[in-house]
Structure 1
Amino acid sequence: MTDNGQNGLNPGRPPASRIRLVVSDMDGTLLTPEKQVTRHSIAAIQTLKQAGVPVCLVSSRPPGGMEMYFDVLGLHTPYGALNGGTIFNADRTIRSRLSLDPEAVQETLDMLKVHDIEAWLFRGHEWLVTNATGAYVEPEAKAVRMTPTAVPSFDDYRQDVGKVTGSSADYEALMRQELEIGQLLEGRASVARSCQCFLDITPKDANKGYALRQLASFYNIPIEEVACIGDMNNDVPMLSIGGLSIAMGQSKPEVAETAHFVTAPNSEDGWAKAIEQFVLPRVAPLSDSSAGKTVS
């Protein structure tokens, strides 16, 4: 594991000495490359719980794709789905939601269509597709244990959209569209790849930095006392503001440089190692004044 020292984007921001909340990405971070959770990670979560430090997950996944892991992880805390734009309570009800402007949805769909990139829409608990046999639909359905709803077109579904995802095996095309759509929707949406094959377009403030702030507020904890862990471009908004930010070992340099520390890759139990080496020595349990908020 590597100690990156001070933050690459803000050299004046030293790592926190006190941690009371952990906010983590899932794919590429808490999950192994096979989309599994290791026993070491489960044990680390239990140790945090025993110390009174809650763990909240934030992911580009739809809510169902996150909830499928909660029982094995023993987590019953609020969580941020759709890249953090929709915050759910532990009982699956929506706590807060940001939506894309319908015009931004249409402009995104037009750009993806021109470049032959398949589009999906996510609204609350819904996943909408126009091509149910698309290359990534079946693998994603299995991965998140959700069945998409096939619609003839997206014309009647541009309201209340929490995320548009462009999926393609042409990774370079997605990289180009991350820039082009980002420029097109500058000031109106957040545009970032959540993995090599997925490009996510979410409301302007719907990013993992927004989710971190929402979750910290729920527990009445300042973000300076929140540890966050991630691996991709869409994790940068939280890595760059968290009190203690940790990048996974396989992260690209532009992601790693925004973190205080770099742990081992997710193929080598990097999440559990990060908790053990960087977080647990800094944990401080929730005080009585912060509850009504159950740590579970």
Structure 2
Amino acid sequence: MVKLISLDLDGTLLDPQGQITPASKAAIALARAAEIRVVLNTGRPIPEACFFARQAGCDDLVSALGGAALADSSTGQVLQRQDLPQNTGRRVLELCLGRRIELMIFAGEEIVLDPFSKESLLRTYPYPVFHNNAVVVEDPLAYLEEHRLPLTKVHGDWNQPAYPLEELRALDGLELTSSNDHDFEVVPAGVDKGVALAQLAQRYGVPLDQCAAVGDSDNDLAMLQAAGVPIAMGNASQSVKDLALRVVADNGQDGVAAAILNCLDPKLSPSL
């Protein structure tokens, strides 16, 4: 029997308009009534992960920043966090800034934006919880050094020819991944959603073979590999679908609700 369901957010729990549908909320409520834990495991920052967990009616523990942080959504308290090595973090920012890349810079528990990214994100990423928690500075690298902030994660988007991917791959102490076909994400080495799922499951006392995971993109692969019941969205990348035990409808057709309801079936097991 599935005892814990780990949900990605973008492309999975959120529909194409960035909303959680009534069907998804109802499915989560049914799962929790059946004493199944439902947790968010997302690349988004801690404030957004907590906001959407509360909105969806999920359990309190959330994984944010691609697995780099665990938090309690009921209080916003950060339970654990892993940051990039100091020298590596500095070099990452040196490589990424000034290229007209839309950057989200996650510095410990702060969200830092340069002016170009702020202007771009107001058009492409209209989520008030994100913008209300972000600080805009002319020189993010100097800001982090002045305030002695670590670098936890960087998300880059919307100017692919300028991405310094080869230079980033050459650095020690980081993992390079993506959440769709046009972005890149930098997180500390050893951090991924699969490790985060194991940490969440341990905190709730659930074996990994009794966990299901639902996702759509390559940064969900580790989460699906860790779970006993990996489920792919209909809009998932082919690599995610190839790994999954089953594929549900896409995020515009309440696929995540179907995935959750499938996990309520007592005949569903890790040996499916």
Which TM-score tier does this pair reach, normalised by the shorter chain? Answer: 0.7 to 0.9
Checking the alignment, whether the CA contact within 8 Å between 1:181 and 1:191 is kept in structure 2 is: no
Checking the alignment, whether the CA contact within 8 Å between 1:20 and 1:283 is kept in structure 2 is: no
Q: State the partner residue of 1:67.
A: 50
Q: In 2 relative to 1, CA 172–267 (structure 1 residues): closer, same or farther, beyond 3 Å?
A: farther
Q: What SS does structure 2 have at the residue aligned with 1:135?
A: helix
Checking the alignment, whether the CA contact within 8 Å between 1:28 and 1:231 is kept in structure 2 is: yes
Q: Which has the higher contact order (CA 8 A, sep 6+)?
A: 1
The AA in structure 2 aligned to 1:83 is G
TM-score, with structure 1 as normaliser = 0.80
Give the counterpart of 1:107 among 91, 102, 115.
91
Give the counterpart of 1:121 among 98, 105, 120.
105
For 1:130-145, what aligned pairs fall within 5 Å after superposition? 130-131=114-115, 133-137=118-122, 139-140=124-125, 142=127, 144-145=129-130
Q: Which runs of 5 or more structure 2 residues have no equivalent in the other structure?
A: none
TM-score, with structure 2 as normaliser = 0.87
Residue 25, structure 1, aligned to residue 37, structure 2: no
Residue 222 of structure 1 and its aligned partner are, at CA, apart by 1.3
Take 2:80 and 2:49, find their aligned partners in 1: how far apart are those partners? 17
Q: What SS does structure 1 have at the residue aligned with 2:259?
A: helix
Taking every aligned residue pair, what percent have the same amino acid on both sides?
28
Residue 202 of structure 1 and its aligned partner are, at CA, apart by 0.8
Q: State the partner residue of 1:157.
A: 144
Take 1:196 and 1:273, find their aligned partners in 2: how far apart are those partners? 25
Deviates more, 1:83-92 or 1:108-117: 108-117
Q: State the partner residue of 1:56.
A: 39
Give the counterpart of 1:228 among 213, 218, 221.
213
Residue 106 of structure 1 and its aligned partner are, at CA, apart by 2.3
Deviates more, 1:200-209 or 1:103-112: 103-112
Take 1:283 and 1:273, find their aligned partners in 2: how far apart are those partners? 15
Take 2:267 and 2:34, find their aligned partners in 1: how far apart are those partners? 7
The AA in structure 1 aligned to 2:207 is P
Higher helix share: 2
What is the root-mean-square deviation in Å for CA atoms of aligned residues? 2.3
Residue 143 of structure 1 and its aligned partner are, at CA, apart by 5.4
Q: Which runs of 5 or more structure 1 residues have no equivalent in the other structure?
A: 1-17, 285-296
Residue 138 of structure 1 and its aligned partner are, at CA, apart by 5.1
- What is the count of residue pairs matched by the alignment? 261
Residue 73 of structure 1 and its aligned partner are, at CA, apart by 1.8
Residue 238 of structure 1 and its aligned partner are, at CA, apart by 0.6
Q: State the partner residue of 2:157.
A: 167
